[in-house]
Structure formats: structure tokens, C-alpha cells
Structure 1
Amino acid sequence: MEEKTRKFFILLFIITSCSQEANFDSPIYSGSKLKIGIVGDKPKIREKNISLISLSMEDILQNKFKNLDSVFITKRYLKEAAKPQYAEVYLQSPIPFIFIESEKVYLAFIDDQLSYENAHTNKSEDYLIGFYKDTYWGLGLHNNIKNEKTIQDCYSRLFVILERFKNTGEIIID
């Protein structure tokens, strides 16, 4: 009887732990409409008030993003995005740039003397790294678990920051 009871409590603990990770509070961004340029594949987001507009790295170099609220660069394009010719674009940009799933710190993108390969590893495990003027920030996944829900939650939190930027011109993070 004691063995069955012990197994029951172990199973109950495992189920409870798993369900807590899957059932965290993740509000959907419901603010104003945002227009975001994206280099790479569009992420699967929950929001209907977000327009994702495809861009190329050449568009970035030619500053074809000034009518947008932000630009996202996906993991597939990060090595190219860290090439020296882009550093000044990010430093002078009128909007924030977001680097998705970067294994390297933000300096890889703004230091024209530093390659992606030679930049320091992003030890904070941030899923999204943002940069605007002299401000950088990172947003991680809930409990560092990578799944559809935690990724969508991360984007929803980012959209709040971008809306605040759109309204104030400042990066404000809670």
C-alpha cells in the first residue's frame, strides 16, 4: 500500500509541475496597430492587430523601413545582419531593431569591428534582443521553455514595449 501511495504522489507532482508550466498567464497584446518589418520567416503570433511586412537585408541597407514601428531579423539572417555595413543603420535607426534567437550579444550587430562568430555568447538566454539608439534589452521565454505558447507570449510582451515606444519615443520595460 505504501509503494502505491508513493507512486501516486510522484505522479501527481509530475502532472502538477507540467501543468503549471503550460498554464501560465499570457495576455494577448490588444493595443494599437503596429506595422513591423521582418527579414526572414514570419513568426506565428496570436495578435490580429500586428502587420508583418517582409523585408530583405538590402531593404535594411537602403533604409526602407522608416514607415514601420520596428524591424525584426530572424535567426537565419543574423550572421549577415552582423556584417559591418549594417552597424551604422542600427545605430542611426529611428525605430527599434529586434534580433530573434541570437546566440550572440547585441554588440555583434552594432560594433562594425566585431563579427557574429567572434561576439560574446548571449548567456542570458534571451529569445528576443532589442536595440534602439543606446538602449538594448532582452526578453526570454517563460521558464526558458521553447514552445509555441512561450514564444507567442514573448512576442506579446514585445508588442507592449513597441507600442510604448511608438507613443513615447522611449523604450520602457516593466
Structure 2
Amino acid sequence: MKSVLLNSIMFLVLAILLSACTSNKESTSEGVEDFDSPVYSGGNLKIGIVGAPPKVREDNVKFISLSLGDVEEKSFRDVDAVFINKNYLPEAAEAKYAKVYLESLVPFIFINSEKVYLAFIDEELSYEDAHTSKAGDYLIGYFNHKYFGLSLYNHQNTKKTIQDCYSRVFSIIENAKNTGEINL
């Protein structure tokens, strides 16, 4: 009789544990796609982009192709911000660009950098030698002597979380355009 009761209790405990694990997995995967992610609805923005433009949800954001040569020559006066894609980050961290970022009248956004923002503004620090970012930010920005970072929702790399991250940075860029400051 005791063994039947003990087996029944063990079965019940095991069933509860398994259902809790299953429930947790479902809520985690659903949570990534079900979070509130407003689309940027502010004014029109023109974003300079070194590399391929990201796929965003906004119709009021226009991307203008730039080269790192344009960045070096400061030929980006008609844009509200400059984005630099991951493939160009090691070169964008070369010493000759640091002064451009430090003195820029528009925010610079470094996409999916594995390194901290100092890699871009410290002339003596190469991308390879810079500390690896532990914050998990997908977008790292620098403007007016202020660094900021935006991570993906739940640190999940999905189309929706990436688009959400861009929508949030567009709001920050619009605010910087209107106030000259970064406000998170």
C-alpha cells in the first residue's frame, strides 16, 4: 500500500514539473512575438547608411547610401544620423574616424557591434583590441559626448525584435534632431 501511494505521489510531482517546464517554454517563445512594439510615427528622417540599409517597418525613414570615405570627409550634412553596418565596424574604428564621431552634429549608430563604443571614439584603441561588449546592445550610438545602447527585446534576434530596436532608435534620433540631446 505504501509503495502504491509513494508511486502515485512521485507520478504527480513529475507530472507537475513537466507541465511547468512545457508551459514556460511556450510563454517564452510567444513572448518574443507578442510584445508591444510601436512603429516610429514621428517626422521624416534621412539616415546615412554605410552598408546595406536595414529592413524597417517605417515609411517615413529614408536611407541614403554613404561610404566610409564620405564619413571621413564629413560628407553627410543632409542626414539626421549615420548608421554603420557590422561588416564595416573594424574599419570604422580606425583612428582617423574618431574625431569625426566626437565632433559630429548628428548621431552615429554602430549596428550589432561586438565591441564597446570606445572602439570608435578612442584614437589609440583598435576594434580588435577594444573590450567585448557585455551589455548585449544591438545598436550602439554616440552623439554630443554621450553614449547609448539599445538591446533587442529579451535579447532574442528575430525580425520583430530587430525592427523594434530600429523604431526605438528613430525616436531617439528625432529627439536629438529637435533638441541636440540624447534622451532615453
Range class of TM-score, shorter chain: over 0.9
CA drift of 1:10 comes to: 4.4
| Partner of residue 30, structure 1 | 41
**Moved >4 Å (runs of 4+):** 1-10
Matches within 5 A, 1:40-51: 40-51=51-62
| Partner of residue 151, structure 2 | 140
CA drift of 1:16 comes to: 2.6
Distance 1:10 1:71, change over 3 A: same
For 2:131, give the aligned amino acid.
Answer: H
Q: Does 1:109 align with 2:151?
A: no
CA drift of 1:13 comes to: 3.7
Q: Does 1:54 align with 2:65?
A: yes
Distance between the aligned counterparts of 1:110 and 1:52, measured in 2?
24
| Partner of residue 91, structure 2 | 80
For 2:48, give the aligned amino acid.
Answer: G
Q: Which structure 1 segments of 5+ residues have no match?
A: none
| Aligned-partner SS, 2:169 | helix
Q: Does 1:90 align with 2:101?
A: yes
| Partner of residue 168, structure 1 | 179
For 2:113, give the aligned amino acid.
Answer: S
| Aligned-partner SS, 2:137 | coil
Computed over aligned residues only, the root mean square deviation of the Cα atoms, in angstroms, reads: 1.6
**Matched positions, count:** 173
Distance between the aligned counterparts of 1:109 and 1:120, measured in 2?
12
- CA offsets, 1:109-151, max 9 Å, x none? 1111111001111110100000012100000000111111000
Structure number, greater radius of gyration: 2
CA drift of 1:33 comes to: 0.3
Task: Provide the identity percentage.
Answer: 53
Greater helix share, structure number: 2
TM-score by length of 2: 0.88
- The counterpart of 1:159, out of the listed 135, 150, 170, is 170
| Aligned-partner SS, 1:162 | helix
Q: Which structure 2 segments of 5+ residues have no match?
A: 1-10
- CA offsets, 1:53-87, max 9 Å, x none? 01000010111111110000000000000011111
Distance between the aligned counterparts of 2:21 and 2:181, measured in 1?
48
Distance between the aligned counterparts of 1:108 and 1:12, measured in 2?
42
For 1:125, give the aligned amino acid.
Answer: G
| Aligned-partner SS, 1:78 | helix
Distance between the aligned counterparts of 2:43 and 2:89, measured in 1?
29
